[in-house]
């Protein structure tokens, strides 16, 4: 079976889900004939028509709100944020309206908000963000952030079929760099399940999205140069977190390094650290360490961006410190 | 796409007494039967009497949160909702209790909501009239204003996508027209030709802020020009004029002609909520509106001039009192929510959150049903009392 890119995997999922279910529709800015800023929706408009692949005004509040209303009526909208940075414009609609709808009004709101996320692409402050932490804090929303092509496809299918709102973060650095074989048939990757990306016994790196690859690279170097067997856990879903998988790797290796591309303060690493220390304190042989971005807006120049974001040597350094503890 | 077709309603200043129906009704559009005309009276009177009962319950501290009145605005809520059909969906705002009653909300549901009972429509999760039922045709509002405009754009987008001849109606106040959500929602609905009626209930104040500090447009219906859709202003204290103006917009939407604005001129005769003493309203204004432009008084005068005997209206009033008494008894007899229910239904899957370890067993810690002091009985401590 030929390999396809992470981006093509997402597109395949959208095609297959629109084919499977007439209630699924797409809405977003420039997603129609143009195919979207990154061409994720390319071909959908030609195949399914403008009624189901809706070019919207520049209107994040409008389209997220409209998706919610349509979802209440039984549709399954998939909303594209042209860049996930713009999801901040719809923050009220997502957190105050969508996230509470089932709880306060018993209104099902099956919808997906997806978009290109993340840095390492010289995109500057407004085309590089990782805003996931702000949303995992909101009960009522689910958040996924895949790292592999197969997970991107399988999780997109799960997100569209989920009966609640799922925020689907796509890492734009991975869009065309990562390829993978697709499993045959209609494979849905369950929301809420982490994946062991690499087995190991000496320490655990817990991470997600683009930094999974930096962690894997570091793990290989540590094995080669230090003889360390590093386990890498790819969270895949950020809300709800897979406590079982997280605690299992902690209990296996007793040393934990959390890596994320998002900024440090209030990032998901803090929540993971609290959960591990509440539930696995006796299993820890060292303090939990974090490698994250610095707490600054992401700058444009390569020398600045590379300095601010976590890099493989940072992970190697932190892992060695943990191993020596 | 037409411009703004106006039939101006009551000027906020210069109202000099109830206008005879012939002056304000556009004539022709409304072919309301005698039974329908009495229906309109019933819904308006029920709205007012139910709110009066809520005031009593509030003073007995049986209402857990704040109480929001629509005194003097009953006609705009009832007349506009009455222009919809079964299958249509509206989204009310806080002054639109009447519209919900027209769509089938019951007095006992309203009372249980305010009293935070376990078998209230939201099982004690949300306040006051913040609830809905898509089957009966109303979707509950949330507190951030303007947010229901994009949501109702989406509800009506689904009608269009499925080829259903259904219409949506969303209420906003003069204040909500200043929000981004209002703009984005109405613009989206307009370009998508959604069958949506946006009712702007212009009652003079958003909390304490007068409309002149909200917008410099002379009439909020003028905003329609900016969206390329029809807009109309009507006298919101005339239930028939309200019905007729809304019906024109509803009919346009049902014919596939898209989104419209209907601005209803009215006046908020009570505070934002019961705690608000309306110190910001010029002296005499409240009294003048009560004496000269009460929507129920005006409608009673109209019905009387059309030959409806006073006895018939009194019989409706008595029936309403009976219904409210029965509803009150039922609401007072119902229990409080069970604490563990607070952890259910955040998602379809998983169906419930686990209680935190220090709350296992679900024991309720707080048993007081008292209204928090911040909801209206707050006495500011003397300076330095800290």
Domains of chain B by residue range: 32-332
Chain B residues with CB under 8 Å of A69 CB are 139, 150-158
Q: How far is CA A40 from CA A1, A50, A86, A162, in A?
A: 21, 16, 17, 21
- Distance in Å, alpha carbon of B161 to nearest chain A alpha carbon: 7
> What integer pLDDT is reported at residue B363 of this predicted model?
59
**C-alpha torsion angle, residues B50, B53, B55, B58 (rounded to 10):** -120
Q: Which residue of A has its CA nearest to B181?
A: A61
B153 and A106: CB-CB below 8 Å? no
Structure tokens at B232: 């109309």
Q: Which residues of A touch B (CB under 8 A)?
A: 25, 51-52, 54, 56-57, 59-75, 77, 92-93, 96-97, 100, 102-108, 139-140, 142, 162-164, 240
Q: Which of A60-74, A254-268, B1-15, B356-370 has the lowest mean pLDDT?
A: B1-15
Which pLDDT score is estimated for B67? 96
Report residue B31's pLDDT band, with 50, 70 and 90 as the boundaries.
confident
**Domain boundaries in chain A?**
3-181, 195-324
Three-state SS across B138-203? Answer: ECCCCCCCCCHHHHHHHHHHHHHHCCCCCCEEEEEECHHHHCHHHHHHHHHHHHCCCCEEEEEEEC
> How many Cα atoms occupy the beta-carbon half-sphere of A75 within 13 Å?
25
**Confidence at residue B337, expressed as pLDDT on a 0 to 100 scale:** 96
Contact B188 A73 (CB under 8 A): no
Domain B32-332 has CATH 3.40.190.10: no
> What residue of A is the nearest CA neighbor of B143?
A96
- Residue B360's pLDDT band, with cuts at 50, 70 and 90, is confident
Spell out which residues of chain B touch residue A108, defining contact as CB-CB under 8 Å. 348
Confidence of residue B369 (pLDDT cuts 50, 70, 90): low
User: Average model confidence (pLDDT) for chain B?
Assistant: 89
Chain A residues with CB-CB distance to B180 below 8 A = 61
- Of the candidate CATH numbers 1.10.490.10, 3.40.50.970, 3.40.1190.20, 3.90.1150.10, the domain formed by A3-181 belongs to 3.40.50.970
**Contacts B142 to A, Cβ<8 Å:** 96-97, 100, 104
pLDDT in tens, B312-347: 999 999 999 999 999 999 999 999 999 999 999 999
- The reply to whether residue A66 touches residue B147, judged by beta carbons under 8 angstroms, is no
Contact A77 B154 (CB under 8 A): yes
CB A11 within 8 A of CB A20: no
Instruction: Answer yes or no: is pLDDT of B215 > 80.
Output: yes
Q: Tens digit of pLDDT for each residue in A19-72?
A: 999 999 999 999 999 999 999 999 999 999 999 999 999 999 999 999 999 999
Averaged confidence pLDDT in chain A: 98
Tell me: pLDDT of B28 over 70.
Answer: no
Is B346 close to A67, i.e. CB distance below 8 A?
Answer: no
Angle, alpha carbons B296-B299-B303 (nearest 5°): 135
Chain B residue numbers with beta carbons less than 8 Å from the beta carbon of A274 are: none
Catalytic residues of A, by residue number, are: 127
Q: Which of B229, B144, B56 lies closest to A104, judged by CA?
A: B144
Check A97 against B139: CB less than 8 A apart. Answer: no
Separation in Å, CA of A40 to nearest CA in chain B: 23
Burial (CB < 10 A; 0-12, 13-18, 19+), residue B285, is middle
pLDDT at B364: 55
- B55 close contact with A: CB closer than 8 A: no
Evaluate if residue B290 carries a pLDDT over 90.
yes
Report the percentage of chain B scoring pLDDT > 70: 85
Task: Tell me the residues of chain B between 159 and 218 that have a Cβ less than 8 Å away from chain A.
Answer: 159, 161, 180-181, 184-185, 187-189, 191-192
Kindly tell me if the per-residue pLDDT of B26 is higher than 50.
Answer: no
- Which residue from B266, B295, B186, B242 is spatially nearest to B7, judged by alpha carbons? B242
Same fold, A3-181 and A195-324: yes
Instruction: Report CA torsion sign: B27, B32, B35, B38.
Output: negative
pLDDT at B373: 54
The CATH architecture one would assign to domain A195-324 is 3-Layer(aba) Sandwich (3.40)
pLDDT at B359: 87
pLDDT at B350 over 70: yes
Pick from B154, B187, B346: CB nearest A67: B154
Tell me what the mean pLDDT of segment B97-116 comes to: 98
Answer whether residue B116 shows pLDDT above 50.
yes
CA distance A56 to chain B (A): 7
pLDDT for B30 equals 54
Provide the residue count of chain B.
386
Q: Taking Cα atoms as reference points, which of A113, A116, A78 lies closest to residue A99?
A: A113
Contact call for B150 and A65, based on CB within 8 A: yes
Q: Is the pLDDT of residue B23 over 80?
A: no
From A62's Cα to the closest Cα of chain B, the distance in A is 5
Q: What is the ipTM of this complex?
A: 0.96
**pTM of the complete model beyond 0.90:** yes
Q: Count the residues in chain A.
A: 325
Beta bridge partners of B265: B202, B235
Structural contact between residues A273 and A261, judged by C-beta atoms closer than 8 angstroms: no
**The two structure tokens encoding residue B354:** 């686990």
Would the CA dihedral through A187, A191, A195, A197 be positive or negative? positive
Q: Is the pLDDT of residue B101 over 60?
A: yes
For B218-249, the pLDDT digits (tens) are: 999 999 999 999 999 999 999 999 999 999 99
> Residue B12: how many CA atoms within 13 Å on its side-chain side?
20
Chain B residues with beta carbon closer than 8 angstroms to that of A100: 142
């Amino acid at each position: 079976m030929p390999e396809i890119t992470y981006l093509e995997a997402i597109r395949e999922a959208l095609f297959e889900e629109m084919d499977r279910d007439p209630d699924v529709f797409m809405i977003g800015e420039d997603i129609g004939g143009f195919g979207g800023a990154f061409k994720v929706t390319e071909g959908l408009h030609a195949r399914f028509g403008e009624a189901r692949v809706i070019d919207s005004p520049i209107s994040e509040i409008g389209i997220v709100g409209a998706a919610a209303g349509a979802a209440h009526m039984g549709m399954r909208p998939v909303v594209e944020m042209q860049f996930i940075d713009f999801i901040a414009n719809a923050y009220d609609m997502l957190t105050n309206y969508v996230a509470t709808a089932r709880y306060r009004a018993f209104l099902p709101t099956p919808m997906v908000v997806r978009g290109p996320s993340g840095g390492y692409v010289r995109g500057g402050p407004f085309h590089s963000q990782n805003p996931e932490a702000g949303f995992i804090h909101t009960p009522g929303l689910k958040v996924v952030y895949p790292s592999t092509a197969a997970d991107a496809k399988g999780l997109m299918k799960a997100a569209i079929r989920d009966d609640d709102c799922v925020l689907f973060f796509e890492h734009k650095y991975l869009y065309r760099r990562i390829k993978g074989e697709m499993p045959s048939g209609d494979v849905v990757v369950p929301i809420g399940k982490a994946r062991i990306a690499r087995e190991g016994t000496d320490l655990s790196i817990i991470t997600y999205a683009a930094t999974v690859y930096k962690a894997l690279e570091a793990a290989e170097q540590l094995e080669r140069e230090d003889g360390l067997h590093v386990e890498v856990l790819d969270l895949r879903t950020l809300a709800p977190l897979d406590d079982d998988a997280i605690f299992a790797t902690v209990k296996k290796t007793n040393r934990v390094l959390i890596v994320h591309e998002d900024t440090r303060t209030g990032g998901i690493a803090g929540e993971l650290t609290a959960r591990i220390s509440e539930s696995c304190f006796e299993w820890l042989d060292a303090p939990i360490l974090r490698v994250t971005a610095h707490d600054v807006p992401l700058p444009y120049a390569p020398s600045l961006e590379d300095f601010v974001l976590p890099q493989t040597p940072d992970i190697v350094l932190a892992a060695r410190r943990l191993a020596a503890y | 796409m037409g411009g703004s077709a106006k039939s101006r309603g009551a000027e906020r200043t210069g109202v000099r007494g109830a206008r005879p129906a012939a002056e304000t009704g556009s004539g022709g559009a409304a072919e309301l039967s005698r039974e329908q005309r009495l229906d309109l009276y019933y819904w308006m009177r029920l709205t007012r009497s139910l709110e009066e009962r809520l005031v009593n319950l509030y003073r007995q501290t049986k209402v857990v949160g704040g109480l929001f009145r629509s005194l003097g605005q009953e006609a705009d809520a009832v007349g506009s909702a009455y222009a919809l059909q079964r299958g249509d969906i509206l989204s009310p705002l806080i002054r639109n209790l009447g519209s919900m009653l027209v769509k089938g909300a019951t007095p006992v549901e309203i009372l249980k909501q305010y009293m935070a009972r376990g078998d209230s429509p939201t099982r004690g999760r949300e306040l006051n009239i913040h609830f809905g039922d898509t089957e009966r045709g109303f979707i509950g509002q949330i507190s951030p204003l303007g947010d229901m405009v994009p949501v109702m754009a989406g509800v009506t987008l689904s009608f269009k996508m499925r080829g259903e001849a259904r219409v949506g109606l969303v209420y906003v106040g003069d204040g909500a027209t200043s929000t981004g959500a209002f703009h984005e929602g109405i613009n989206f609905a307009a370009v998508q030709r959604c069958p949506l009626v946006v009712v702007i209930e212009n009652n003079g104040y958003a909390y304490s802020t007068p409309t002149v500090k909200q917008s410099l447009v002379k009439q909020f219906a003028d905003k329609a020009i900016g969206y390329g859709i029809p807009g109309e202003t009507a006298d919101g204290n005339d239930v028939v004029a309200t019905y007729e103006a809304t019906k024109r917009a509803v009919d346009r939407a049902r014919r596939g002609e898209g989104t419209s604005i209907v601005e209803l001129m009215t006046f908020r005769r009570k505070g934002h909520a019961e705690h608000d003493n309306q110190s910001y309203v010029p002296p005499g204004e409240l009294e003048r509106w009560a004496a000269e432009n009460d929507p129920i008084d005006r409608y009673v005068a109209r019905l009387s001039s059309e030959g409806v005997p006073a006895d018939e209206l009194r019989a409706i009033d008595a029936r309403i009192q009976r219904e409210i008494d029965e509803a009150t008894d039922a609401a007072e007899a119902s229990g409080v929510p069970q604490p563990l229910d607070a952890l259910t239904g955040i998602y379809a899957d998983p169906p419930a959150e686990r209680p935190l370890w220090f709350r296992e067993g679900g024991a309720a810690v707080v048993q007081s049903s008292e209204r928090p002091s911040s909801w209206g009985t707050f006495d500011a401590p003397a300076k330095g009392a800290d």
